[in-house]
Amino acid sequence: MKFISTRDSREKLSFSEALFRGLAPDGGLYQFENIPKISDFFSSLEKGAPFRELSVQLLQRLLENEEDAAAAEDIIGSAFHFSPELKHIDKSITVLELFHGPSCAFKDFGASFLAAAMDRILRQRGQKAIILTATSGDTGSAVAQAFHGRDAIEVVILYPSGRVSPLQEKQLTTLGGNVTALEIKGNFDDCQRMAKAAFTNPGLRHLPLSSANSINLGRLLPQSFYYVWAWSQMRDIEDMAFIVPSGNFGNLTAGLYAASWGMPINRFAAAVNANDVVPEYLRTGNYIPKPSIATLSNAMDVGDPSNFERLNCLYDKNVEIFRRHIEAWSVDDKTTRDVIREVYLKYGYVLCPHTAVGWKAAELYRARHPGVHTLILSTAHPGKFVETVEEAIGVKPQLPEALAMLLNKEKSSTILNNTNDALAQFLLERFD
């Protein structure tokens, strides 16, 4: 199995090579050279298979004939000390809870897998790496937790000043050690642009830079595992749709990859906030990036989703093919608050703002497709958004112990201007 850039198919990389490259030299994202066709894997998969066991089997199939396949059990065993959970709300709604990892967000799956895989490879080679990642909220805290304390790896996290929740900022800025938090005077799109520019900057090419954003294939691939696990648990339901809160669109891309491999679900919906570039693309056929807009569901405040490039390649840059596989809805902040309150009052179930956006999209999806069971991906623990949730339901959500311990820790960050040169200078001064 080889991997190629979304922009140039001539260079073919192994999985471990793509893992450390992060972004291709031409600015493209790595994808499968040929989509794996493993329908037999899905047909033979036992209902109720444990998540870790399923993940090992799936990774081995995807990396067949690669030396990395032999390491699948070691990597998965090191990465996943937690699992997704399903909450059946009523006859038409199930929530796939993805917040039971160390940072209480779905991005723990990708970050923990990537950290385990990179750590194993670096230790074998006697090498070091610098992880450079931009975050609009949950990515940074997941990466910080996953890579913290790994001697062979330095971590640099860019986050937009004043545009992550107070608790998210604590998660980014209190670990210290090999984790450095850069507080950027700008928005998430600035952070993402700066990180991308660093990877293609000839003056930084001698530094062992790699990415832990969903642009990294090693982050994206394991996110497909929980789609397959959820399907295997609920395979008796004939007509089911995944509803995916979406910002940079890595989570949705992972699900669509699983479907392309042969997972027998072809219904997907993207749930976005006011940053509605993809719904507009599906409506008009024109992809027009916009400046990001700050919302309550801040981890989805992305005006130019990086993974759109992967989706564009998956669907041959054809909007009609897109429309056959994906539907999308935009949900505003008022509706987000209303949904959090309504769901709490009706079911006693507490949603984070991102999951509330997904819940509303699921309602709209069922209105268009009566009888379809909606499986909503719950991307973060509501305790990470205390102010928003308490305002909506009048009750302060309980903090998981992992988050509660952060409240009294001191923040430590480096403030940086939102220019490519500012980041390049920092990296050279710190690591050259």
Helix (H) or strand (E) holding 402: helix 401-404
CA 324 distance to own-chain centroid: 23
Confidence (pLDDT) at 141: 86
Confidence (pLDDT) at 67: 65
Task: List the pLDDT tens digit at each of the 432 positions of the chain.
Answer: 899 999 999 999 999 899 888 788 898 999 999 999 999 999 999 888 999 999 999 999 998 877 666 789 999 999 999 999 999 999 999 999 999 999 899 999 999 999 999 999 998 899 999 999 898 766 788 899 999 998 899 999 999 999 987 888 999 999 999 999 999 999 988 998 999 899 889 999 999 998 887 688 999 999 999 999 999 999 999 899 999 999 999 999 999 999 999 999 989 999 999 999 999 999 999 999 999 999 999 889 999 999 999 999 999 999 999 999 999 999 999 999 999 999 999 999 999 999 999 999 999 999 999 999 999 999 999 998 989 999 999 999 988 887 888 888 999 999 999 999 999 999 999 998
Confidence (pLDDT) at 110: 94
In order of their start, the domains of the chain are 83-105+218-399 (3.40.50.1100)
Phi, psi angle pair for 366, to nearest 5°: -65, -30
Q: What share of the chain is helix, strand, coil (3-state, %, to 5)?
A: 45, 15, 35
Confidence (pLDDT) at 68: 63
Name the β-bridge partners of 94: 88, 375
* Alpha carbon distance, N-terminus to C-terminus of the chain: 34
Q: Which residue has the tokens 């600015």?
A: 27
How many Å apart are CA 351 and CA 343, to the nearest integer?
8
Structure tokens at 423: 């980041």
Structure tokens at 31: 């994808």
Sheet holding 179-185, edge to edge: 209-211, 129-134, 153-160, 179-185, 414-417
CA 112 distance to own-chain centroid: 12
Phi, psi angle pair for 416, to nearest 5°: -140, 145
